Chains A and B, each alone.
Chain A
């Protein structure tokens, strides 16, 4: 990834707050998954969250569009607080895009229909316009010619790029990535990462749970390391990788970079 020239001209971090999480706690039954998480994400930031499995990193970003409900603390997304109010939840979800580990494309709809579904039903966009938007983003992820195929006919990497395009069609302000490359064969990881990099180059606010450290070094402006439901360390990528402070972080980095 490093050899790739990355255009950083648009990757500016503004002062505006995109996501604000304060003293957030979450339990699964008796199990305390997220412990007193505090985090502020500025508009335009590219944050990579890493950590061992079970550290709560996926749960954290799933709380941001309330796929998981937090039990205490505050989450404010783009000025809207996530409470039990369904209207707020709907508003946040239409502003926040999400890409899943297993793509979760709708297998009964074509690629194009996958992309136009939410704009038509949630944003009430006219069909023709929605299709134009969809084709625009499909060409952006470089698969406009597959628009009339079904997800099952595409490779994993292509499916994940469609999933990204599907989220982009809602014109989200924030994108969440939940281990987007973990379910992919090695040769397909790059095409998905490239798509994500080009997204970053356009200044999209991104929160990304991933173990792709090359991506973190190239694109992220902040790396967060989580363990046992808490944020253990966060730093800008160069410092994070070259000079980790916590012992937990050092151990983790030696394990994933060691071989």
Chain B
């Protein structure tokens, strides 16, 4: 090339495999564990810590006992089998009490009802998560709350049916009103009509229908709920009810109307500024002051209401982030095409903003699901503290502490870790989707 400036390639070079590596395992160890003095020290320290933990945990797990009727029996079995100094896990407790961890004091012969409700939940969720499923399945999603309520609490079928009819009334009023009165006014009228329905017609109508066509299953009281059943009921209801509320709050916070903006900000900051426990105590102690005299309703429902408000404030902040991530051009294009505010929100803004916010919504849900354990402090039997306390106060299992916490913790871990992985996967997918 030194004296010849022009050069034309006549033949393209083929791709070749890289040169062979220099000794696989040793090279890997040197690079990843012993690449310098600091790294070597870290590896040794880490190894020692790991060995120490393993030396305690592995025998403990290996000596597990699954068949026993009490902690002392467990210990006897371990001593008899593995010697006097051996330690071992006593999973016999889990074997005996797992149903309480799952269902609390729900009647044993009715376990199929919450289980069925749980399975149906996935059927109801499917069309929301997978858009290619037939849209008609959304009808089932819409009816699911009533079905689940009826399955869980039992009683007359007419109460949930009539309650659902209230939503139908709301929809009809909205449909009739919206072309003439606009979205906000007709939505308000719809809510008013439905509220009227529930307040004044609900009990009478469902009572009459029940006496005309008696259709009911055995009813279960709220204080029989417990364990993961309770956590899932509170968590799922609160997160799904908080979504629409969170969307409205986020829109309110984005609004340029001063009053709407400050009311939304005030609500969000208040809820986010106080611990959940104070809100739960509000549910158990203060709600009786704020509601009309004589109204006294179910503690689970009260807790769900407050937890929903709590979740809504957090969801609102997540969705606000999604709204902020949307380029201004999207709003302008919607305006230029002549869409009105609600059409633009529904067709253009929300589908995109919600998609961006899914990871945030999932992590809010994980947080909320973990926080459902706090209902123990208003007297409900959550799987962590409530049920464990019941187990530990049994004379047979007095003094057991690792096993119940590990068991409940492992289930929480599986659910939360699974969801967080799912949301990470979704995040990756959304990054590449259509973009």
Which residues of A come within 8 Å of B, CB atoms?
65, 67, 90, 93-94, 96-98, 100, 102-108, 117-118, 121-122, 150-153, 166-167, 170
Which residues of B come within 8 Å of A, CB atoms?
327, 329-330, 332-333, 335-340, 343, 347-348, 351-352, 355, 434-435
Give 11 pairs: A residue, B residue, CB < 8 Å, sorted on A. A67-B332, A97-B336, A98-B336, A100-B332, A100-B333, A100-B336, A107-B352, A108-B355, A118-B338, A122-B343, A151-B434
Contact of A170 among B335, B338, B343, B435 (CB under 8 A): B338
- Closest 3 CB pairs between A and B? A150-B434, A104-B333, A104-B329
CB-defined contacts of A167 to chain B, threshold 8 Å? 336-337
Given the known inter-chain contacts A100-B329, A107-B352, please indicate yes or no for A152 contacting B339, CB distance below 8 A: no
Give the CA-CA distance A223 to B76 in the complex, in Å. 99
Q: Besides A93-B335, A105-B333, A108-B351, 14 other CB < 8 A contacts? A: A65-B336, A90-B338, A94-B338, A97-B336, A106-B352, A107-B352, A107-B435, A117-B337, A118-B338, A118-B339, A122-B337, A122-B339, A166-B337, A170-B337
Give the CA-CA distance A97 to B435 in the complex, in Å. 25
For A101, the closest partner residue in chain B by CB is B329
Give the CA-CA distance A67 to B333 in the complex, in Å. 9
CB-defined contacts of A96 to chain B, threshold 8 Å? 336
Cross-chain pair count, CB within 8 angstroms: 64
Give the CA-CA distance A67 to B330 in the complex, in Å. 12
Give the CA-CA distance A100 to B348 in the complex, in Å. 16
Given the known inter-chain contacts A108-B355, A150-B434, A153-B434, please indicate yes or no for A102 contacting B347, CB distance below 8 A: no
| Interface SS of chain B | helix
Give the CA-CA distance A67 to B344 in the complex, in Å. 14
Of A97, A121, A152, chain B has the most CB atoms within 10 Å of the CB of A121
Given the known inter-chain contacts A67-B336, A150-B434, please indicate yes or no for A121 contacting B329, CB distance below 8 A: no
Tell me whether B330 and A106 are in contact (CB under 8 A). yes
Tell me whether B434 and A67 are in contact (CB under 8 A). no
CB-defined contacts of B335 to chain A, threshold 8 Å? 65, 67, 93
Give the CA-CA distance A113 to B336 in the complex, in Å. 16
Task: Tell me the minimal C-beta distance from B71 to chain A in angstroms.
Answer: 57
Of B327, B333, B335, B351, chain A has the most CB atoms within 10 Å of the CB of B333
Give the CA-CA distance A169 to B185 in the complex, in Å. 31
Given the known inter-chain contacts A108-B351, A108-B434, please indicate yes or no for A121 contacting B332, CB distance below 8 A: no
For B346, the closest partner residue in chain A by CB is A121
CB-defined contacts of A106 to chain B, threshold 8 Å? 330, 333, 348, 352
Give the CA-CA distance A96 to B352 in the complex, in Å. 26
CB-defined contacts of B336 to chain A, threshold 8 Å? 65, 67, 93, 96-98, 100, 167
CB-defined contacts of A67 to chain B, threshold 8 Å? 332, 335-336
